Chain A
């Protein structure tokens, strides 16, 4: 499984960067569409923080001589991306500019699951063998503290609200969990990444995640989920067609003038 992994730090950084980049993009599509104005402020602030995390990871890649951070973020095609399937899924039917039929239950379920998984990874990165990863993890950790509070509140309250809300959340959670197979995966780089001591193994982190979310799942009276084998593994550049559409939209302005200074 080690294949030709030249630098496991680069592999892991691409996974972390692409995850946060796509997660932020999907978040930004919600701007102006959240259920109420305070939520719009909160969600967009979280999205801005998360894009900041993606920026940090792309800059670390730049520091390793992999390329310029902006082009790593915007120009790489879907076939080179290493994000998980979960973050590339569209928010719902329609387009953000044209009749968006987005599903708030899906947004809450995805954001809660993604952010809790991110917390488990970031905590593990705090003891990474790589100093730059450790420093980045401390920074991210302080900011996602607020994100976790936010999504946990929505997640629990919607599950414990009306019958209709619970039904919608249950459907949304099922849809999210079906895409979680590669969330903790490091793909073909797994052995190289864990042997280098960059982060703990997928199995360790999944079990830690289960322990972490258990009290919340008890509150909503839902059995703690287990992740199956992924049908597609985003870490190995296997993606849905929606990913390229997302990248094209996100990079539209950047691509109009690659030499411009923003």
Chain B
């Protein structure tokens, strides 16, 4: 393995430890926010995709990544850049990411939108599909508030975000 490949490998391992500051069971990697890691000698540039453009966690994430990556061997400087192309979409969340969301009480975003724009998710706690949408908007830009009529728990779901919207 070339030195640069080892370095990239280590950077990705560290990125997997940087969690969403508002959902500490999911890493920025599992959210699909990391688009590209560029290495030039000892300088690292990480290109990230913002989830929602007004998300106040973005600056915190940026700082956390820069601090974490600086600990990687042979890394001298780190710069995190937010880019918009390609756009972040909710289908970038990995299977591990989806499991992490559930652990936090958040249903992963649905894969498909129905033709009328509606979507279906299962309760993050009991898996029932006997749920109602309480509020399409939630405590953060990326989440909605739902209620499970089976286990009688309120829960949240990640909003589906796709370029067909």
Contacts and interface: CB of A to CB of B under 8 A. Distances in A.
A52 B87 contact: no
A139 B161 CA distance: 10
Interface in B129-161: 134-141, 145, 159, 161
Given A52-B53, A53-B54, A143-B52, A149 B141 contact: no
Contact of B165 (A45, A48, A131, A142): A142
Contact of B137 (A46, A51, A53, A140): A46
Contact of A145 (B56, B135, B165): B165
Contact of B136 (A55, A131, A138, A150): A150
Interface in A10-46: 38, 41-42, 45-46
A16 B134 CA distance: 32
B138 A45 contact: yes
B20 to A, nearest CB: 17
A42 B136 contact: yes
B53 A56 contact: yes
A139 B85 CA distance: 9
A172 interface: no
Nearest to A146: B136
A135 interface: yes
A205 interface: no
B87 A139 contact: yes
Interface residues of B, number: 25
B71 to A, nearest CB: 23
| A51, A55, A146 — most chain B CB neighbours (10 Å) | A146
Contacts of B55: 52
Contacts of A55: 53-54
B117 interface: yes
| B50, B54, B162 — most chain A CB neighbours (10 Å) | B54
B84 A49 contact: no
Q: Is the interface of B mostly helix, strand, loop or mixed?
A: loop
A149 B135 CA distance: 12
Contacts of B136: 42, 146, 149-150
Interface size class of A (residues with CB under 8 A): 20 to 34
Nearest to B84: A135
A135 B85 CA distance: 6
B87 A138 contact: yes
Contacts of B54: 48-53, 55
Contacts of B137: 41-42, 45-46, 146, 150
Nearest to B134: A38
Nearest to B159: A146
A146 B160 CA distance: 10
Nearest to A37: B135
A140 B141 CA distance: 13
Contacts of A50: 54
A232 interface: no
Nearest to A46: B137
B119 to A, nearest CB: 11
B87 A135 contact: yes
Interface string B45-69: 0000010111110000000000000
A146 B109 CA distance: 15
A51 to B, nearest CB: 5
Given A142-B165, A143-B52, A41 B84 contact: no
Interface string A143-184: 101100110000000000000000000000000000000000
A142 B138 contact: no
Contacts of B135: 38, 41-42
15 contacts: A38-B134, A41-B138, A42-B137, A49-B53, A51-B54, A55-B53, A55-B54, A136-B84, A138-B84, A138-B87, A142-B89, A142-B162, A143-B141, A150-B136, A150-B137
Give 3 closest A-B pairs by Cβ, nearest first: A52-B54, A52-B53, A145-B165
Interface of B: 50, 52-56, 84-85, 87, 89, 117, 134-141, 145, 159, 161-163, 165
